[in-house]
Structure 1
Amino acid sequence: MFVYPQSESIPVGIVIRKSPGVTRWAKWAWQAIGVLPGAGPADWKILRHEEGVTEYHAATRDLTLYVSDAEAYVHELGTRQPSVYVVMRRDGVTDDTPLNVVLITASPYEAQDYEDSGEEVVEKVPMPVGMLAWVRDFVERHYEEEVFVKRRRDKNRVDGKEDGIGDPRIAQPSDVYRAPTGKKEAAQ
Structure 2
Amino acid sequence: MADRPLDGTGERDDGGGQAMRPTAIVERVEVGIVLERRESRHPWLDFAWKPVAAIAGAPARDPRGDWPVAAQGDDWIHFHAGTLTLEMFRKETEGYRVNLSQDPPRLFVVLRDPEDPEVDHPIVPILVTACPYEAQDYLDSGSDLVEPVAMPPELVAFLRDFVERNHVEQPFKKRQRRPYDPRKVGFAGSGGPAPVERPRGRPAGDDAPGDEE
Secondary structure of the corresponding residue to residue 104 of structure 1: strand
Give the corresponding residue for 1:16: 35
2:51 to 21, 32, 35: 32
Secondary structure of the corresponding residue to residue 55 of structure 1: strand
Give the corresponding residue for 1:52: 75
Matches within 5 A, 1:113-132: 113-132=137-156
Moved beyond 6 Å, runs of 4+: none
Q: Is the 8 A contact 1:17 1:33 kept in 2?
A: yes
TM-score, length basis structure 2 = 0.66
How far apart, in 2, do the equivalents of 1:35 and 1:56 lie?
A: 11
Matches within 5 A, 1:37-186: 37-42=56-61, 43-92=66-115, 97-146=121-170
How far apart, in 2, do the equivalents of 1:53 and 1:67 lie?
A: 39
Secondary structure of the corresponding residue to residue 109 of structure 1: helix
Q: How many residues align?
A: 149
Aligned partner letter, 1:135: L
What percent of counterpart residues are identical? 35
Q: Is the 8 A contact 1:93 1:99 kept in 2?
A: no
How far apart, in 2, do the equivalents of 1:91 and 1:12 lie?
A: 20
Q: Is the 8 A contact 2:114 2:121 kept in 1?
A: no
Aligned partner letter, 1:33: V
| Cα RMSD (Å) | 1.8
Aligned partner letter, 1:145: E
How far apart, in 2, do the equivalents of 1:101 and 1:148 lie?
A: 34
Give the corresponding residue for 2:199: none
Secondary structure of the corresponding residue to residue 4 of structure 1: coil
Greater displacement, 16-25 / 88-97? 88-97
Greater displacement, 131-140 / 73-82? 73-82
How far apart, in 2, do the equivalents of 1:13 and 1:133 lie?
A: 18
Unpaired runs of 5+ residues, structure 1, are 150-188
1:114: Cα distance to partner? 0.3
1:92: Cα distance to partner? 2.2
Aligned partner letter, 1:64: E
How far apart, in 2, do the equivalents of 1:96 and 1:61 lie?
A: 18
Secondary structure of the corresponding residue to residue 114 of structure 2: coil
Q: 1:130 to 1:110 in 2, by over 3 A?
A: same
Q: Is the 8 A contact 2:90 2:166 kept in 1?
A: yes
TM-score, length basis structure 1 = 0.74
Q: Is the 8 A contact 2:108 2:129 kept in 1?
A: yes
Instruction: Indicate the structure (1 or 2) with the bigger Cα radius of gyration.
Output: 1
| Higher normalized contact order (CA 8 Å, seq sep 6+, divided by chain length) | 2
How far apart, in 2, do the equivalents of 1:115 and 1:148 lie?
A: 25
Unpaired runs of 5+ residues, structure 2, are 8-23, 174-213
